[in-house]
Amino acid sequence: MELVTSALIALSNGIPGLVVAGVTMILMLLALIRKDPGLMLAAALLVIPFAFARGAWAGFPLFVRLLPLFSLGSAFFIGKDDPVFAWSLPMPVFGYLIYVAFIILAAGV
């Protein structure tokens, strides 16, 4: 279990964090444009390292822990062909990933 924890933390910091955040944002946009729930599911899986490393179970970081659920909900609504929820649910995740990318860059990668 320590190996998994270390891997999740490593994937959310530094250069790997920038790469994972960038790939996740690209997958999210491709999923919305192509209306492919599989790509959104892959993006939800890539959000997990950020949710694990930067979230908590109390206060505002609880919202960070629940970010993969927003992407999964968007995948569900893409499958149901409901564009309003499909496009609105991943926006908090997208905004948070942009915020994390700027934080990583400001920390001096």
Element at 88 (helix H, strand E): helix 83-88
Tell me if residue 81 falls in helix, strand or coil.
Answer: coil
Six-digit token pair at 34?
A: 């192509």
User: CA torsion 22→28→34→40, rounded to 10°?
Assistant: 130
Pick from 99, 95, 94, 40: which is nearest to 71 by CA? 40
Question: Terminal CA-to-CA distance of the chain, rounded, Å?
Answer: 27
> Tell me, what's the pLDDT at 54?
82
- Across the chain, what does the average pLDDT equal? 91
> Tell me, what's the pLDDT at 101?
92
Instruction: Give the tens place of pLDDT for each residue, 24-82.
Output: 999 999 999 999 999 999 999 999 998 988 877 877 788 888 999 999 999 999 999 99
**How sure is the predictor about 109, in pLDDT bands with cuts at 50, 70 and 90?**
low
Six-digit token pair at 46?
A: 């890539």
Is the full-model pTM beyond 0.85?
A: yes
Tell me if residue 35 falls in helix, strand or coil.
Answer: coil
Instruction: Give the tens place of pLDDT for each residue, 6-27.
Output: 888 888 888 999 999 999 999 9
Could you give the CA distance from residue 8 to residue 25 in angstroms, rounded to a whole number? 18
